Every structure is written in structure tokens, then in C-alpha cells.
Amino acid sequence: MMIHTKKLLSAVTLAGLVAASLSTVAMAQGRGGDHMGPMFDFAAMDVDADGRVTKGEVAAYRTARLTAMDTDKDGNLSAAELTAGQAEQDQKRGEKRAARMLERQDANKDGVLSLAEMTPAAGRVDKMFDRVDTDKDGAITKV
């Protein structure tokens, strides 16, 4: 019984993480011009602010990001520089995601999310669980 419970809890945790990942991508894709995908920062690329991003602006943005990651300015990106660049990008995305969560879910506007304010998100996890539980027996089994 204990092993089955651990597997079930692991599966629920996995389902929750998948749901969170999918909702993040969906939010990024549906932000009305802010993002066209999980890593496409439209506003940052639209240098002339004309509401359009050209191939030239995308190339310039990419070059600027890669140049900024080359902290020792040797024209190459080491594993350490790549890791640091990715960590910085992840940090910024996380900060934006947290701000959006607070904006949407902080009902009393105290700047923090209580467990009660976060509970409605559990419905998404339940839906994901139900989708993964293809035989509808109330458990997710390892294939």
C-alpha cells in the first residue's frame, strides 16, 4: 500500500508540474503582444516600437543577448557563461511569472499568496490528473 501511495503521489506531483509548465507556455502565448511564445519577448525585440518585429530586429536582439552573455569578451561562450546566461533568463522569467500570479490571485492585495488564494489552481491539477488517468480508476500507473 505504501509503495502504491508513493507512486500515486509522485504521479500527482508530476502531473502538477506538467500542468504548471503547460499553463506557463499558454500564458506566454496568449499575452496579447507581450510574447509570441515562451521565449519571444516582442517588446524587447521591437526596437523602433512600430508594433512589428523584423528579421533584422530578431537578429540584432539575438546578437546583443549572446554578446552580453560573453562576460570575458573573448568572442566565445563557455559552459559557465551559457549557464549564467540561462540562469539570468530563468530568474527574469520567474520574477515576471510571480508578479503575474500575485496580480491574478492576490485577492486581498497584501502582496503575498495565502494557501486559500492558491487553492483555486488545484482545479487545474485535478483536470490534468483526470486527463492522464486514461482508465479512470483514480490512479496514474507507470507505463
For residue range 43-87, what is the model confidence (pLDDT) as tens digits?
989 999 999 999 999 999 999 999 999 999 999 999 999 999 999
The answer to whether residue 14 sits within a structural domain is yes
pLDDT for position 74: 95
In a domain, 137, yes or no: no
pLDDT higher than 60, residue 33: no
pLDDT given at position 117? 87
Instruction: Tell me, yes or no, whether 34 lies in a domain.
Output: yes
In whole angstroms, give the CA distance from residue 79 to residue 87: 12
Burial of 128 (0-12, 13-18, 19+ CB in 10 A): buried
What's the pLDDT at 24? 39
Say how far apart CA 54 and CA 47 lie, in whole Å.
10
- Record the pTM: 0.51
Three-state DSSP class for residue 121: helix
pLDDT at 6 over 70: no
Confidence (pLDDT) at 21 = 43
Residue 121: its pLDDT value, please?
A: 64
pLDDT above 70 (res 129): yes
- Host domain of residue 74: 2-132
Q: What angle do CA 20, 24, 28 make, to 5 degrees?
A: 170
Within-domain flag for 89: yes
* The predicted structure's pLDDT at residue 125: 82
Give yes or no for residue 22 having a pLDDT over 60.
no
CB count in 10 Å sphere of residue 112 = 9
Does 18 score more than 70 pLDDT?
Answer: no
Helices (H), the chain: 2-29, 42-45, 55-69, 79-105, 115-118, 122-132
Q: How many domains are there within the chain?
A: 1
pLDDT at 120: 66
Q: Per the domain annotation, does 120 fall within a domain?
A: yes
85 within domain boundaries: yes
pLDDT at 88 over 90: yes
User: Distance between CA atoms of 42 and 116, rounded to whole angstroms?
Assistant: 34
Q: Which three cell numbers stand for residue 76?
A: 566565445
The torsion angle over the Cα atoms of residues 59, 99, 85 and 82, rounded to 10 degrees, is -100
Is the residue at 141 inside a domain?
no
Whether residue 143 is contained in a domain is answered as no
Counting every residue written for the chain, the total comes to: 143
Contact criterion met (CB below 8 Å) for 89 and 76: no
